[in-house]
């Protein structure tokens, strides 16, 4: 049941749609898992949610990848699409919509958007000579390249000199308006560092944006409605997914669109911060509510991940070795929105063993097993509370209340930090109260009951908060505690476990991995 006032609130979260020229990697897993955490958070607050993730199937590099595999384009795309879906399913990403840009409805809507912009005389045909990076699927300016003349984002792919006739969207007429929008909507781009980067991009006159590719060069794309010798530039097509997913231009999309937040990596700030808003303005449509930008994962020591160095973290390998929640936990706890963070299988293993295993899982199994063994398979009812009990209960409410409030992407790690800090406090409380001593005498037996109850009820609150982050294992923990279903909107509340109730089967939540 939803909170009455909440019935009207909606939130639409999108992830980038990923290129299918390779298998899904940790960066793809990351953005989609963060989007899932934000969805679960807002759902817990009572919002109606829409989460889209998926794949970007057009463009030159996907086309070349299919050729390289020696497969038909259709078979290749289906194969990769199934692979991405499978990874998101295994990551417990509860997407509501899986995007495929090869869908007919998407193609028709994109062509409609192009025609409407063309009809306003905002698209011109002209000859162009430029340097093209296939990695970015973008023309590059001289000043965008390294001293060696390579794209800094794709140093192993050679840039190509290209001369061709294409269609271009006029950008400059919209630059001032976009700057004004950014100034008037302080939340439009977050964090600040990326807002500044975007303002920098908009500080000089904008060149027209090439929005077509001649079929002689690229065939994998959406045909231009006004010239069948060309297909649509992959970025124009891909960005439009955010609208076509919610059935634009058919009625009904408006209420979702008004609440749209794009999650993106810093690598694609320009398409989302410059091209997309200008495409929307050109089409006469409102801008999305927010761009939430994050930095990148790099290998241990700050080294870029690469196959040759052997420091690539494969999401499937991690799930198989450590379980999905080890990965989700690491990503949530150690991500930083405005600076790069390091990742390796060793780091994930360590964080899993020490944080999830030692601090949370062990305490749960020790306290729950003790309770079952000493109190006839049950959770005991508490007696009067001591100052120590009151203190730990207060700390737990304080530490978890952030998950009962709106979470922004950049705030996820701080909320995880406060949960881990309170888990330390809970362990200290349990060690100091020493229920194993209290049980020995009849006169301290009631005190023992209270300590066990307080410990397990506090763990319940922590696990309820963590269902937004590590839903699978948090759900198991709540089942072990026989916890009642949580209300919506959720906020941390004490004493929801019933004294003298049966506990479930106690299993080790986070078995130690060497």
Q: Which residues are at the interface with ligand ME8 (CB under 6 A)?
A: 16-19, 27-28, 30-31, 56, 238-239, 241, 264-265, 267-268, 296-297
**What is the nearest approach in angstroms of ligand ME8 to the Cβ of residue 27?**
2
User: Is 307 an active-site residue?
Assistant: yes
**What is the nearest approach in angstroms of ligand ME8 to the Cβ of residue 339?**
12
Packed helices 324-334 and 412-433: angle between N→C axes, nearest 10 degrees: 110
Of 130 and 265, CB closest to ligand ME8:
265
Of 27 and 380, CB closest to ligand ME8:
27
User: Is 181 an active-site residue?
Assistant: no
d(CA 286, CA 282) in angstroms, rounded, equals 10
**What is the nearest approach in angstroms of ligand ME8 to the Cβ of residue 67?**
19
Close Cβ partners of 292 (under 8 Å, ≥ 6 residues apart): 190, 261, 262, 263, 264, 337, 408, 409, 410
User: Is 294 an active-site residue?
Assistant: no
Of 43 and 295, CB closest to ligand ME8:
295
DSSP assignment string, 115-141: HHHHHTT-EEEEEEEEEEETTTTEEE-
Peptide bond into 191 cis (omega under 30): yes
User: Is 133 an active-site residue?
Assistant: yes
Choose among 333, 329, 319: nearest CA to 474: 329
**What is the nearest approach in angstroms of ligand ME8 to the Cβ of residue 224?**
19
Region of 192 (left: φ > 0; alpha: ψ -120 to 50; beta: rest) is alpha
132 token code pair: 């093209």
Of 339 and 421, CB closest to ligand ME8:
339
Candidates 39, 134, 151, 170; catalytic one: 151
**What is the nearest approach in angstroms of ligand ME8 to the Cβ of residue 439?**
49
Peptide bond into 489 cis (omega under 30): yes
Close Cβ partners of 119 (under 8 Å, ≥ 6 residues apart): none
**Integer angstrom CA distances of residue 315 from 90, 417, 475:** 10, 23, 22
Of 27 and 435, CB closest to ligand ME8:
27
d(CA 102, CA 49) in angstroms, rounded, equals 24
Residue 39 backbone phi and psi in degrees, to 5 = -65, -50
Candidates 120, 158, 304, 394; catalytic one: 304
Closest residue by beta carbon to ligand ME8: 27
Candidates 2, 3, 10, 154; catalytic one: 154
Beta partners for 265? 294
Candidates 28, 106, 372, 476; catalytic one: 28
Of 21 and 449, CB closest to ligand ME8:
21
**What is the nearest approach in angstroms of ligand ME8 to the Cβ of residue 366?**
36
Of 27 and 404, CB closest to ligand ME8:
27
Q: Which residue has the tokens 């070349």?
A: 64
**What is the nearest approach in angstroms of ligand ME8 to the Cβ of residue 365?**
34
Helix (H, G, I), strand (E, B), or coil: what is residue 157? coil
d(CA 414, CA 512) in angstroms, rounded, equals 25
Of 58 and 476, CB closest to ligand ME8:
58
Peptide bond into 485 cis (omega under 30): no
**Integer angstrom CA distances of residue 53 from 95, 235, 345:** 7, 16, 25
Choose among 308, 323, 327, 493: nearest CA to 401: 493
Candidates 136, 210, 448, 458; catalytic one: 136
**What is the nearest approach in angstroms of ligand ME8 to the Cβ of residue 305?**
7
User: Is 136 an active-site residue?
Assistant: yes
User: Is 304 an active-site residue?
Assistant: yes
Which residues are annotated as catalytic?
Answer: 25, 28, 133, 136, 151, 154, 304, 307
């Amino acid at each position: 049941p939803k909170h009455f006032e909440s019935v009207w609130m909606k939130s639409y979260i999108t992830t980038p749609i990923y290129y299918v020229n390779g298998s899904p990697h940790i960066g793809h897993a990351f953005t989609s898992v963060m989007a899932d955490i934000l969805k679960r958070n807002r759902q817990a607050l009572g919002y109606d949610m829409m989460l889209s993730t998926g794949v970007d199937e057009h463009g030159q590099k996907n086309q070349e990848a299919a050729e390289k595999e020696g497969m038909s384009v259709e078979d290749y795309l289906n194969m990769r699409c199934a692979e991405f879906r499978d990874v998101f399913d295994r990551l417990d990403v509860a997407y509501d919509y899986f995007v495929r840009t090869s869908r007919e409805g998407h193609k028709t809507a994109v062509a409609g958007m192009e025609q409407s912009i063309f009809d306003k005389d905002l698209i011109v045909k002209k000859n162009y000579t430029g340097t093209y990076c296939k990695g970015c699927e973008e023309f590059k300016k001289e000043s965008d390249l390294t001293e060696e003349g390579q794209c800094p984002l794709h140093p192993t792919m050679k840039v190509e000199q290209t001369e061709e006739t294409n269609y271009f969207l006029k950008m400059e007429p919209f630059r001032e308006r976009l700057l004004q929008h950014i100034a008037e909507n302080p939340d439009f781009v977050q964090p600040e560092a990326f807002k500044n980067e975007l303002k920098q991009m908009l500080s000089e006159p904008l060149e027209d944006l090439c929005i077509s590719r001649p079929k002689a060069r690229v065939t994998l794309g959406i045909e231009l409605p006004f010239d069948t010798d060309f297909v649509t530039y992959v970025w124009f097509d891909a960005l439009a997914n955010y609208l076509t997913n919610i059935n634009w231009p058919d009625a009904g999309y408006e209420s979702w669109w008004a609440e749209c937040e794009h999650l993106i990596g810093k690598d694609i700030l320009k398409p989302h911060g410059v091209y997309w808003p200008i495409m929307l303005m050109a089409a006469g449509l409102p801008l999305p509510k927010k761009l939430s930008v994050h930095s990148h994962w790099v290998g241990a020591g700050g080294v870029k991940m690469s196959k040759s160095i052997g420091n690539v973290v494969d999401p499937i390998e991690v799930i198989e070795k450590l379980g999905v929640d080890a990965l989700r936990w690491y990503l949530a706890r150690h991500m930083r929105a405005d600076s790069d963070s390091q990742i390796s299988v060793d780091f994930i293993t360590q964080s899993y063993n020490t944080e999830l295993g030692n601090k949370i899982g062990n305490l749960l199994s020790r306290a729950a097993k003790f309770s079952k063994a000493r109190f006839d398979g049950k959770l005991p009812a508490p007696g009067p509370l001591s100052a120590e009990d009151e203190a730990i209960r207060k700390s737990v409410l304080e530490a978890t209340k952030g998950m009962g409030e709106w979470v922004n992407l950049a705030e996820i790690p701080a909320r995880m930090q406060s949960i881990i800090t309170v888990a330390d406090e809970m362990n200290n409380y349990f060690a100091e109260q020493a229920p194993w001593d209290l049980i020995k005498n009849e006169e301290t037996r009631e005190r023992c009951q209270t300590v066990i109850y307080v410990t397990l009820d506090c763990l319940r609150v922590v696990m309820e908060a963590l269902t937004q982050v590590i839903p699978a294992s948090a759900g198991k923990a709540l089942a072990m505690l026989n916890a009642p279903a949580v209300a919506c909107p959720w906020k941390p509340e004490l004493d929801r476990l019933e004294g003298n109730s049966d506990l479930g089967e106690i299993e080790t939540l986070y078995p130690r991995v060497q």
